[in-house]
């Protein structure tokens, strides 16, 4: 199956994009082991997340319409955003992927979604942070956080993409903001107690 997908990708995406996809697959596996998530599902979603990356806008719109994907005005004006949904369609129809969690993780890789599963979080984060995305102090710090706190990592990834979209005067999909606010809330809920806030055992015994 993996070789079959890679052969398909060699004919449908650029060599540079294929490197990115293999980087995402690898990081998904590592993050899955780190956060106790099924590594086979993570690998599958990572490998197939960008199947439709190079489909022309007309094909993305036609395939999304045929599958009754909700095409909101932002996606209608920017069909490239639909490559996530259409990649899930190709994964299902061409490669026979039936696992809804894997398909949803593929769908969520660009905009995320509030309440998304940990599997979706892993693919979302790996898409932005795999090594081929470059190297700078901010990315290095984000990569460090991705091993420690998945929700914090999703929030940082959202902030990083939103800053890029603002700086490059590109449209922002409202779901990207909803995902960011959800991840911010989740990361604040999951803050580990600081050692100096934990009462020593002796104190409790007195
Ligand atoms: Fe993508
Ligand atoms: Fe990607």
- Output the CA 200–ligand 2 centroid distance in Å: 46
19 alpha carbon to ligand 2 midpoint, in Å? 10
Q: Which residues contact 129 (CB under 8 A, 6 or more apart)?
A: 27, 139, 142, 143, 146, 153, 157
- Rounded alpha-carbon distances, angstroms, from residue 142 to 3, 44, 80, 149, 182: 31, 23, 26, 10, 18
* CA 202 to centroid of ligand 2, rounded, Å: 51
Q: Which ligand is nearest to the CA of 52?
A: 1
Interior CA angle at 194 toward 190 and 198, to 5°? 110
Instruction: Give the distance (Å) from ligand 2 centre to CA of residue 21.
Output: 6
Cβ atoms within 10 A of the Cβ of 75, count?
Answer: 21
Q: How far is the CA of 103 from the centre of ligand 1 (A)?
A: 14
CA of 129 to the centre of ligand 2 (A): 10
What single string gives the DSSP state of each residue in 32-89? HHHTT--HHHHHHHHHHTTTTTTS-HHHHHHHHHHTT----HHHHH-GGGGHHHHHHH
CA distance to 193, 196, 199, 205, 206, per residue, from 202 (Å): 18, 14, 8, 5, 7
Which residues have a beta carbon within 5 Å of ligand 2, which is an ion? 50, 127
| CA 141 / ligand 1 centre spacing (Å) | 22
- The reported pLDDT for the residue numbered 194 is 52
Ligand 1 center to 83 CA (angstroms): 7
Give 48 Cα–ligand 2 centroid separation in angstroms: 9
Q: Which of 112, 116, 119 has its CA nearest to residue 180?
A: 112
* Backbone CA torsion sign across 94, 100, 105, 108: positive
Mean pLDDT by 10 residues, the chain (206 residues): 96 97 98 96 98 97 95 94 97 97 98 97 98 93 96 97 96 96 92 52 45
2-191 belongs to CATH 1.10.3210.10: yes
The CA distance from 137 to 140, in Å, is: 5
Ligand nearest to the CA of 80: 1
Is the C-alpha dihedral spanning 119, 73, 128, 115 positive or negative?
Answer: negative
Exposure string (b/e) for 171-195, b if CB count within 10 Å is 16 or more?
A: eebebbebbbebbbebbeeeeeeee
Domain residues of the chain, as ranges?
A: 2-191
User: What six digits make up the tokens of 30?
Assistant: 């590592």
């Amino acid at each position: 199956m993996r070789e079959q997908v890679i052969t398909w990708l060699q004919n449908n995406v650029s060599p540079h994009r294929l490197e990115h996809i293999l980087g995402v697959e690898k990081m998904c596996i590592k993050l899955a082991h780190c956060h106790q998530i099924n590594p086979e599902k993570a690998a599958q979603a990572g490998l197939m997340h960008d199947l439709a990356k190079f489909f022309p806008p007309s094909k993305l719109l036609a395939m999304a319409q045929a599958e009754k994907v909700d095409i909101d005005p932002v996606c209608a004006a920017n069909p490239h955003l639909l490559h996530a949904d259409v990649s899930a369609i190709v994964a299902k129809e061409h490669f026979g992927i039936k696992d809804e969690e894997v398909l949803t993780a593929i769908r969520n890789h660009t905009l995320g979604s509030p309440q998304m599963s940990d599997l979706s979080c892993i693919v979302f984060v790996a898409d932005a942070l795999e090594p081929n995305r470059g190297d700078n102090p901010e990315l290095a710090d984000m990569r460090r956080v991705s091993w420690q706190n998945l929700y914090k990592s999703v929030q940082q990834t959202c902030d990083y993409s939103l800053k890029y979209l603002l700086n490059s005067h590109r449209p922002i999909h409202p779901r990207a903001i909803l995902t960011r606010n959800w991840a911010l809330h989740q990361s604040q809920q999951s803050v580990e107690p600081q050692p100096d806030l934990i009462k020593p055992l002796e104190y409790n015994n007195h």
